[in-house]
Chain A
Amino acid sequence: MSVTTGVDGPPKVAFFNNPKVRSIGVQAILIAVILFFAWQMIQNTLANLERANIASGWGFLNTTAGFDLSFTLIPYSESSTYGRAITVGVLNTILVAFCGIITATIIGFLAGVMRLSKNWLVAKVAEIYIEVMRNVPLLVQMFIWYKVVLAALPSPREAWSIGGTVFLSNRGITIPKFIWGDNAWMIAVAVVAAIVGIVVLKKWAHKRQEATGEQFPVFLTSLGILFGLPLLTYFALGAPVEFEFPEQGNFNLRGGVGLVPEFAALYFALSVYTAAFIAEIVRSGILAVNKGQTEASYALGLRPNPALRLVVIPQAMRVIIPPLASQYLNLTKNSSLAVAIGFPELVAAGGTVMNQSGQAVEIIAIWMAVYLTISLLTSAFMNWFNSRMKLVER
């Protein structure tokens, strides 16, 4: 009864072998190191900025820019501010990323399915396309696309036109400009109403099919509603929209709304490059679905197309979505290479501002913040989509 080191107390371990103490110690050291470096960095930056007489702060955003940009979604002129120039860049980045993601997905799915085609030549062409695109730097491809786009299109004086309304030349595509009259907002309302209608229709059709087994031609009806309703509104209101048609000017087409070829080159290059990666993801996704699934659906009497659409792809999607999300992020970030072919997206517009104002630290901070925001938002959306697809799993 006198043994002091009894079995009833906790086992005696040296304090530094206690996992809890260790983990706290490691974390404390990590925090200390990070804080030390951060403090050093801030100190040095402040000292350097002061020593070099460089002005810092965000005031420059209100300064007049003095340069023009070739493609803007919002009104912009050389007397606008630096801040507005950067906003133009952000919007252009979002535009090209959005368009690129949609096209890359379509091409990627096609190429991925093509590579699995039984037609030898089709499969080979898809393979060559994928292997060439994936193994050549995007920057090089971008230059080549730009050359191809410019070489293929005619000069503005010999522009191809469709009935004098839409013009295509090496200055880009020019379409008539809409001049909205009174009540024109009703058309926008009609578009929204059409979309809501389609969603409701789809739900109803689904329910009906579950209940009665009868199918309803949802796609064609939706198409009809989407175009029919706004058109109906347009004529019902007495055609409140006028068009400003582009016409031949001295050098360029005057009037109308244009889309510059730099955008086209960037958009092609990004879509086609990313699509090659998406194609591989799609292929591996489809291959990951057990062959028995296809055979079972054939046995149930499904034809190859519905079998692919209703049985294989939904299952493949679960494998496809996570890597697809990172490809979308890559595409968005790769749009920053546009600076090389003269499309004023965020890095190009910001770079010009950096050059003219000398505010390097601020501009780079803006770049990083914007890309991070876009990336995190895209990730969040894809995670949500992913979890929705997962619900299919029972």
Chain B
Amino acid sequence: MSDIHSQRNLAYVRTEQAPAMPAPLTVSGPIGWMRENLFPTPINALMSLIFGALLLYVIWITLDWAVFKAVWSGEDRSACIGDGAHGACWAMARAKFGQWMYGFYPFAERWRVDVVGIVGLLALVPMMMPSLPYKKLNGIFLLGIYPILTLILLTGGNFDIGMSTWLTVGAFVAAVVIPILLLGFVAKIIQPTHALMASGAIVGGVALLLIIMSIDFGLPYVETSKWGGLLLTLVVAITGIVASLPIGILLALGRRSSMPVVKLFSVAFIELWRGVPLITVLFMASVVLPLFLPPGTSFDKLLRALIGVALFSSAYMAEVVRGGLQAIPKGQTEAAQALGLTYWQNIGLITLPQALKLVIPGIVNTFIGLFKDTVLVGIIGLYDLLLIVQAANTDQKWVAPQTHSTGFFFAAAVFWIFCFGMSRYSMFMERQLDTGHKS
């Protein structure tokens, strides 16, 4: 054994000391950072160079067009033709800025839009900051009072609420309240005094609402066809967002219902809306819907678009919420039932709060999608932000080669700011609400 061993040339056994390694390259400071993150391997270095060059090129052509070659001031189209025709025409954007924000809202009444915007911001910002108190009061204001304030300020209030309206609304309220009361009395599950107080509150609330609507505040009437620009975009988007969440939740619950008709209806509704493009939905709202209504009735165009957008996005919302509902273990529902909670108590107190928290990213994504989709209302002739920046190109005073691109650039920037802000906020909320149950 030892013979064999000694005959071998022990090449793998080191006989002398290894040479000293050079000192390690710097790992701190900008150079170290670059070496670590940009040029760790030759392939990485090559990719860094290619993508760096690409990034610089895109930034350069954008800046060149939007800043260096741009026309910043001028009285009419003559500033932006000829030599000025190669960069953005910001002179036009300055002249049109008010219109892009407010649409055709009369100059003298624009303070009303400002008030709505400022009040909304003042209420929304504290609502969005988790550390601030009075969330409940603020929520009541935002969802209860603020919409009415907005409606009155933007349109001017003073609605013509005649006898027929009173009768119709009265009939609806009665149709809802009376059966519940009757059933309640027969079943002896609610106390008469409570019931009377509750129904009194409902009737009183509706009556108060109608009366407020019909008060003449001395504000001139501004019809919805004069709304436009960012104002209209925000009205469509926010109404869609606020309306789609409750409808979406109801549809999601309906889709998981054990009642076959309700389930079938929900599935059909969701798949129908999700299966067709919004553009056809809006065409339907603008072209075909008037044919569905009784002869002689017409329907505000904005309202039509709002309904179309809200129904469309609620179908998407329903699927997002359903995903959250499916993720809640069945044990939660069973535990709720064992405690004697009713279906709605279980949904409202146990299942939904957990489910909604899980799907916040999905909900926000749906909101962002909805916000971007509002540009399509331009197709049915509502002057949203995208259509109104294009309208600048049909104004004899400002039509020029770069008018079109300048408007698009502006609209794209505005949309980007809103959508990016929303997505960042959702990330923030996700971290805030993370109770550590996710792996």
Contact = CB atoms under 8 A, between A and B. Distances in A.
Check A-B contact in the complex, CB < 8 A: yes
Interface in A23-68: 23, 26-27, 30-31, 34, 40-41, 44-45, 47-49, 51
Contacts of A136: 372, 412, 415-416, 419
A94 to B, nearest CB: 14
A294 to B, nearest CB: 16
A140 interface: yes
A348 to B, nearest CB: 11
Contacts of B51: 121-122, 125
Interface string A1-32: 00000000000001011000001001100110
Given A119-B37, A121-B38, A140 B412 contact: yes
| Chain A interface residue bracket vs B | 35 or more
B275 A371 contact: yes
A394 interface: no
A127 B287 CA distance: 41
A394 to B, nearest CB: 21
Contacts of A144: 408, 412
A361 B288 contact: yes
A318 interface: no
A336 B280 contact: yes
Main secondary structure of the interface of A (DSSP, over half): helix
Nearest to B51: A125
Interface string B398-410: 0000000100100
B259 A27 contact: yes
Contacts of B420: 131, 135
Interface in A306-339: 326, 329, 333-334, 336-337, 339
Contacts of B275: 329, 368, 371-372, 375-376
Interface string A130-146: 01101111111001100
A303 interface: no
Which of B40, B55, B276, B386 is most buried by chain A, counting CB atoms within 10 A of its CB? B276
A30 B287 contact: no
Interface string B260-297: 11100100000110111111100110011011111100
A367 B276 contact: yes
B380 interface: no
A122 B38 CA distance: 8
A315 to B, nearest CB: 14
Which of A27, A339, A372 is most buried by chain B, counting CB atoms within 10 A of its CB? A27
Interface in A139-158: 139-140, 143-144, 147
Contacts of B272: 372
Contacts of B187: 14, 16-17
A145 B294 CA distance: 44
Contact of B292 (A34, A44, A122, A137): A44
A364 interface: yes
B402 to A, nearest CB: 12
Interface in B48-79: 48, 51-52, 54-55
Interface string A210-232: 00000000000000000000000
A120 B183 CA distance: 67
Contacts of B294: 40, 44, 47
A23 B260 CA distance: 10
Contacts of B183: 16
B279 A121 contact: no
A347 interface: yes
Contact of A139 (B287, B386, B405, B416): B386
Given A30-B261, A334-B277, A371-B277, A125 B54 contact: yes
Contacts of A134: 368, 419, 423
Nearest to A347: B279
Contact of B277 (A23, A135, A326, A336): A336
B48 A135 contact: no
Contact of B419 (A30, A31, A135, A329): A135
A360 interface: yes
Given A140-B375, A334-B277, 19 more contacts: A30-B265, A31-B261, A41-B292, A44-B295, A45-B292, A48-B291, A48-B293, A48-B295, A118-B37, A118-B40, A120-B38, A121-B51, A132-B416, A140-B415, A364-B287, A367-B276, A368-B276, A371-B276, A376-B275
Interface of B: 37-38, 40, 44, 47-48, 51-52, 54-55, 183, 186-187, 258-262, 265, 271-272, 274-280, 283-284, 287-288, 290-295, 319, 368, 372-373, 375-376, 386, 405, 408, 411-412, 415-416, 419-420, 423
Nearest first, the 3 A-B pairs at minimum CB distance are: A120-B37, A135-B419, A375-B275
Interface of A: 14, 16-17, 23, 26-27, 30-31, 34, 40-41, 44-45, 47-49, 51, 118-122, 125, 128, 131-132, 134-140, 143-144, 147, 326, 329, 333-334, 336-337, 339, 347, 360-361, 364, 367-368, 371-372, 375-376
26 contacts: A16-B183, A16-B186, A16-B187, A17-B187, A23-B258, A27-B261, A41-B292, A44-B295, A119-B47, A121-B37, A121-B47, A121-B48, A134-B368, A134-B419, A136-B416, A136-B419, A140-B386, A140-B411, A326-B319, A347-B279, A364-B283, A364-B284, A372-B271, A372-B272, A375-B271, A375-B274
